[in-house]
Structure 1
Amino acid sequence: MSSVETLAYFLEEDSLRGVMRDWPEAMQLMVRLDGAGRCELLVHHRDEAGRVLETLREGLGDAAETLAVVPPVEGFATRRVRFSEEQQLLALAASTEGLSESAQDYAINYRFACEEGLDPEAVVGPRAKPLADEPESDLPQVAERRSARRQSQPEPEPRLFPEGFEAANDPDRRECSLVVAQLHGQGARVRLTLEPGALQGAEIPVVVENVGHSEDFGCFVLPRGALARWQPGAPLVIDMPQEQFPEAWAARFRKRTHHAQVSVTAKGIFVRPVLPEPAAPPEAPMVEVAEGWSLGRPLRAALLVAGMIVAGGGVAIGGNPFSVG
């Protein structure tokens, strides 16, 4: 992080809703990264952004001068963040279990505090959710209240379809883009190229470190956040570590480029590699026919020979017309 020891990156609701469709209105997420490698996610209301920053600066004490904020905020240092880095942060948020639900609970409690004239800080409390190894008891209290509310909800209706299948007319499943793609080995990585025919040659690869696979390894999925600002029809290059793939696939990608069928939904980027068509067997050589040759002549000759054999068979006892001397 060069001279910057602590980075506070604010992900706004529009970007978050691009990777989590049920992200609540007016809620934001601050991603805090420090030089020690620690990462924290802080859910908050957009009206609390200033208070969140001041609390963070006070907590840093003498190290507050090392704090940089993105997007820029007056009174704080900032730094340039590449597009690929922003995609990684969004992918991190999308892959954090329970984050969207925590934001929904926080939004409900924040709105209740405002409607009742209470101090939201006193009602909702700190919202830091560390990604370091911590016991479940250290998770925000709002998660416990969420569990209590869910126990009072009615039992869900029986499923109509097997796990993983839902009706296409479900409003939450309307997003679907079908994309032409290619897969090939690129050094120690597997490269997925969306819309390869539209490449300009200056695309910066988005790095995705985690790859999920179906049970039969015929399909893999990437976090939807990797495509936060991608639009259908636009090219995009995604790099993934080869060790995230079974060796059978990694070896094929190293050997040659494979086409892939890609479906982009609100749940993720689903990729189905396509095995190349087997080589066609060589065609039988064509026989060159002399000019003037016709089917009738050899056919008549064959019929004459057959007639002679039949006739000969009728007088075989008296003598064979094909016998010698």
Structure 2
Amino acid sequence: MSSVETLAYFLEEDALRGVMRDWPAGMQLMVRLDGSGRCELVVHHRDEAARVLETLREGLGEAVDTLAVVPEVEGYATRRVRFSEEQQLLALAASADGLSESAQDYAINYRFAREEGLDPETVIGRDARRFADEIESDLPQVSERRVARRNAAPAEPRLFPEGFEAADDPARRECALVTAHLHGQGARVRLTLEPEALAPGAAELPVTVENVGHSEDFGCFVLPRGALAGWEPGLPLVIDMPQAQFPEAWAARFRRQTHHAQVSITARGVFVRPQLPAPEAPAEAPMVEVQEGWRLGRPLRAALLVAGMLAVGGSLLVGWNPGTTTEHSAAPLQPARSGLAALTNAGEVAR
């Protein structure tokens, strides 16, 4: 293929549900872009992808060799699409008014046709798939013609590295900083925005995001901007992501301990930077059960009682003589009464 004039990009169900919570099951979206900047959206059931592509092929006629399909489909050319471009396509879908409702209506009619054994295209019609035509967007053009590259004016030297621009750039005005927590939750990594705003004991219904993009050094990851649909700063939000979308080193750390995270929300996406682990709550001191009636004087009183008992024992040993007869053995026992009296007096002092 000498050049790419038309790109057919299929956004699948999981990716669309990441930016639109009510996206219907089984439905997909084909985004058609051409070299002139025209953009067309076509909703369809996933079982119709081959038919939708064939319809597009027929419409191109002899120019079919300029068609590229993403993800790759056998028999068609393809091209590499950067992660940032995919996020732009998802953002375009999320911002299209009525797209989700149109997909829901189509899904109902498609299911009805299949249940009745009818051809959905005959019942619904081809045009029902086309949601919008010639959408105005700032998506990058797909043309890769060499003539355009030769005639292009030389680029001005960049002031900043790729990915960095001045903060006053009109396209970069939106920015919100949010505190968050990251931790392992079953087979997923859970991101909680504004965790301090969660009511004690309350359970937030998590939003599921299946696609996670990472920076080159894996120090930051990004989520589609549409994952925050309906959310406002200051409110809590729980987002679940598959652990398989993370390097095992990060997933293992999140499983072991909750981490702080700084979240930057811009028009391009939700950028998350994991930080130090959150400090664990100090262990509570063990509770000591105190018997009713206990008071400070009791230990001293117990010590005096023990001393009295020792005195009694000493008196008994002094008065006992193994050589005396039985008749006279009663007399040496008399001092024991004085020992008991001392014990009683000791108790009175303690009181």
TM norm structure 2: 0.43
Larger Rg: 2
